[in-house]
Amino acid sequence: MAETNPQTFPATTASTFPRLLLQNAQIRPTLPAIREKDLGIWQVWNWAQVNSEVRAFACGLAALGFRRGMTLAVIGDNRPRLYWAMAAAQCLGGIPVPLYQDAPAADMAYVLEDAEIDFAIAEDQEQVDKLFEIKQTLPRISHIIVDYERGLRHYAQPELHSFAKIQELGRDYDRAHPEFFMNELNAGSAQETAIILYTSGTTGKPKGVCHSHQAMIATATTLVNFDGLNQDDNILCYLPLAWIGDYLYSFAQSLLTGLCLNCPESPQTVMTDLREIGPTYYFGPPRVYENILTQVMIRIEDASWIKRKMFHSFMAVAKRVGLRILDGATGISWSDRLYYALGELLVYGPLKNVLGLSRVKVAYTGGEAIGPDLFDFYRSIGINLKQLYGMTETCVTICMQASGDVKLDTVGRPMPGVEVKIATDGEVLVRSRGLMQGYFKRPDATAEAIDDDGYFHTGDAGFFDGDGHLKIIDRAKDVGKMADGTLFAPKYIENKLKFFPFVKEAVAFGDGRQECTAFVNIDMDAVGNWAERRGISYSGYTDLAAQQTVYDLIRDCVEKVNVDLAQDTLLAGSQICRFLILHKELDPDDDELTRTRKVRRRFIADKYAILIDALYAGKASQYIETQVKFEDGRLGKVCADLKIRSAKTFTEARKAA
């Protein structure tokens, strides 16, 4: 069952990230390295400038007492200075620890304590305030450096410094100790830890994943070769710094090839910035693609009838032949090719331009299953969207789909240099050079995750299909059995529900039960627009979710899923019998989702036990009060009388026939 793909890695001339930076400053000093939109204008730093900024900041850190082996917390959105701070820490042999910037102070405190943070760099006042709040219980944080000083004029705390001030300090230090920086940089070795990334904590407390320079650079080299990236490429950095994908796809690939990173003006302007930059390489979890498509569809529905008609007729052409044209298939009639070319001119081209995807060579999605309509939509209009599979512990990069070898329901073949094995219980095991060094200060957890043969246990259940593509079904531990022995794969069912634009989140229950039930979160944008179109008035999420017509709408979706499930002998027994629409959106602030927006199944089952009981007791409605946490940390209460509805189930297709 083992799938091996041995291939030697091309030797990189530099073995650590700081050396790569130095190399870029020498080979391509005047090429753009990073851009940021500031006051409405894209500001550019070339490689030579980035090198000197990083050097100044590194020396400044050293002047404050930052030493080899220390950790630097990095908290904020994608800003050039935060990337430079990570590079600077690495130059000194320190380890950057990026954190999720939207986490409340309490969540941050755990990571800051676990990672033994002394130095932190924060983006702005909001993050600085959080750090000072944490500092009361965690006095070891000795220096806080801030990028954007707005609102901090009256902060007199001696441990607070501005980024520019530290750089100034660093330039003085550099003049006084001219040998220091290069000595420190040369002392770094490839085996040292380059970065610690905390897992999102789907199960239990977050764990710090340590990656060495060697593992990261080897993986990034594989990635760069896989898609042929070079210094002319552009990437928009908009995903959280704390997520491995941002470090690997943005920062590491940039240092390796010299491609240019682009930082958006603010998290709200990403769509506009995307259009202005026109990146050539794009990565996003399925929900990002879904949001874009939802926006497009809403705007098309609001457009004039002629545009609407044109869009729909050419999308039909794209659906018919677009995928085959993208895959370079032969045997497509000239008339279809002509139609498609016309569509490119009138619809697909302008659409891609508006979305900022005109120049995309390759786009990836991963982390969650992607809906068939969604996937085909992008591919049919000529965007080379592909899937990949991986996790923080393996530097992502376990399997990826090669251009021209793309399937909807798989994650592709194992990457060069990655060995994938399926355990007897169906769990996917991985061995590669990109594996983590271990969990920070958790040898017990490391030993549990990596076995004696060096295989990492992913915890995902999957299998190889006939073509050698890996197919992932669910988390191994979530796959259960219903009372009658039918296989119950909750995520599989939830994903099918979530493929409908009206459904934002779903949680399915059924392990050990007679029948399957589900909670549904409606998508406020899509359902809101749908309601507006029909003249249904509503005051907010809770009100909209309780509307009779919305329940009918969702019931249709549930029944379509049931029809789908009925086709599958293994899963026909797990059709959804009853469902309810939750009165509030599941939210990471209420611990219902992880920061990467994965459902925390067990937590939800405990929190809403009363609703689950009502679903199985066959009640028509259930009253519930729920505490919610607002973004500023205040608590509030939402209560509602939730309706519970039944959905039609279907007999198994084969039996019926």
Partner 1 sequence: MRRSEDPQRQNFHRGQESGLKQMTDQRKIGEVILDLQGISLSFGGVRALTDISFDVRQHEIRAIIGPNGAGKSSMLNVINGVYHPQQGSIVFHGETRKAMNPTRVAHQGIARTFQNIALFKGMTVLDNIMTGRNTKMRSGLFSNAIWWGKARNEEIAHRRKVEEVIDFLEIQHIRKTPVGRLPYGLQKRVELARALAAEPNMLLLDEPMAGMNVEEKQDMCRFVLDVNDQFGTTIVLIEHDMGVVMDISDRVVVLDYGKKIGDGTPDEVMRNPDVISAYLGTSH
Binding site for partner 1 (CB under 8 A): 38-41, 148-156, 160, 162, 164-165, 265-266, 268-269, 272, 630-632
Asked if 247 contacts 98 with a C-beta cutoff of 8 angstroms, the reply is: yes
Tally of CB atoms within 10 A around 411: 24
Q: Given the complex with partner 1, which of 186 and 269 has the nearer CB atom?
A: 269
Q: Given the complex with partner 1, which of 270 and 388 has the nearer CB atom?
A: 270
Tally of CB atoms within 10 A around 482: 17
List, in order, residues 6 or more apart from 14 with CB less than 8 Å away: 20, 22, 23, 217
| CA atoms within a 13 Å half-sphere pointing along the CA-CB vector of 78 | 27
**Helix 372-380 vs helix 286-302: crossing angle, to nearest 10:** 70
Q: How far is the CB of 527 from partner 1 (least distance, A)?
A: 19
Q: Given the complex with partner 1, which of 163 and 289 has the nearer CB atom?
A: 163
List, in order, residues 6 or more apart from 354 with CB less than 8 Å away: 275
Using only C-alpha atoms, what is the Rg of the chain? 26
Q: Which of 175, 161, 188 is nearest to 92 (CA)?
A: 188
Asked if 57 contacts 85 with a C-beta cutoff of 8 angstroms, the reply is: yes
Q: How far is the CB of 160 from partner 1 (least distance, A)?
A: 7
CA distances from 222 to 172, 383, 435, 437, 578 (A): 40, 22, 14, 19, 47
Q: Given the complex with partner 1, which of 422 and 638 has the nearer CB atom?
A: 638
| CA atoms within a 13 Å half-sphere pointing along the CA-CB vector of 168 | 5
**Residue corresponding to tokens 């018919």:** 320
Q: How far is the CB of 158 from partner 1 (least distance, A)?
A: 10
Q: How far is the CB of 238 from partner 1 (least distance, A)?
A: 13
Q: How far is the CB of 465 from partner 1 (least distance, A)?
A: 43
Q: How far is the CB of 130 from partner 1 (least distance, A)?
A: 16
Tally of CB atoms within 10 A around 426: 14
Q: How far is the CB of 434 from partner 1 (least distance, A)?
A: 36
Q: How far is the CB of 207 from partner 1 (least distance, A)?
A: 34
Q: Given the complex with partner 1, which of 535 and 636 has the nearer CB atom?
A: 636
Q: How far is the CB of 149 from partner 1 (least distance, A)?
A: 6
Taken in order 215, 398, 34, 61, is the CA torsion positive or negative?
negative
Q: Which of 607, 609, 611, 557 is nearest to 586 (CA)?
A: 607
Q: Given the complex with partner 1, which of 160 and 473 has the nearer CB atom?
A: 160
Q: Given the complex with partner 1, which of 169 and 493 has the nearer CB atom?
A: 169
Tally of CB atoms within 10 A around 250: 25
Q: Given the complex with partner 1, which of 264 and 286 has the nearer CB atom?
A: 264
Q: Given the complex with partner 1, which of 11 and 41 has the nearer CB atom?
A: 41
